[in-house]
Amino acid sequence: MIALTNFGDPAVLLPIAFVLFLWLMHLPKKRAALWWLVALALCVAVTAFLKIDLYPCPQSAQLRNPSGHVSLSVLVYGAIATLIAAQFGHRQRLAAIGGIAALVIAIALSRILLDAHTALEVVFGLGIGLGSLAAFATHYRPQPAAKFPLRRLLLVTLAVMVIFHGDTLYAEDFLHHLNDYMGLEPIACL
């Protein structure tokens, strides 16, 4: 389970997000790159805000720590599925979307099975990721071929996944310390 959940770690996903941004910047119309940054900022900001805000909730609360692994996985892997769906045929599109959906669901389940999150925290992560992905996907339009074909982007993405798999970014500890420092009270505990 740990090996699976590591594919959802920000240490893996943020470098992939950067590679996606670079690829989008090579498209003739830069608007897609701007919307990618908006979606990424939205996902990270909402997840971080909720982690900071809900941290002081009692340990018994079902929603204390929305899953950043899940929210970022939905956004990053979902964006890859969006790019594939826009450029490839029906079979490749279905295979890519199905495979990516299976990976994201497996990451979400691994977070629950590892007792890293409650089911409600994973659902909140899914919601944040889907909302952020919608911000990108609704504004992405297929464009003439980039200087670097999508197949190269996919190969680089796989390489990044292999290189950074197993690394961990401890952003959550920083956010909890930030809350402790600021002495914030939660808006609501569930």
| 139-165 confidence digits (pLDDT tens) | 988 766 556 677 888 888 989 999 888
Inform me whether the pLDDT recorded for 169 exceeds 70: yes
Kindly state the percentage of the chain with pLDDT values over 90. 54
Which whole-number Å values give the CA distances from 86 to 25, 89, 92, 131, 175, in the listed order?
17, 9, 11, 19, 36
- Length, in residues, of the chain: 190
**Which of 14-28, 80-94, 121-135 has the highest average model confidence (pLDDT)?**
121-135
pTM of the model: 0.88
Average pLDDT of the chain, as a whole number: 88
pLDDT value at position 190? Answer: 66
Inform me whether the pLDDT recorded for 179 exceeds 70: no
The pLDDT tens digits for 39-86 are 999 999 999 999 888 877 777 678 778 999 999 999 999 999 999 888
Residue type, 19: V
Which whole-number Å values give the CA distances from 52 to 65, 67, 147, in the listed order?
8, 12, 41
pLDDT value at position 151? Answer: 81
Of 6-20, 21-35, 97-111, 163-177, least confident by mean pLDDT is 163-177
Rg over alpha carbons for the chain, rounded to the nearest Å, is: 17
pLDDT tier, 184 (very low <50, low <70, confident <90, very high otherwise): low
pLDDT tier, 5 (very low <50, low <70, confident <90, very high otherwise): very high
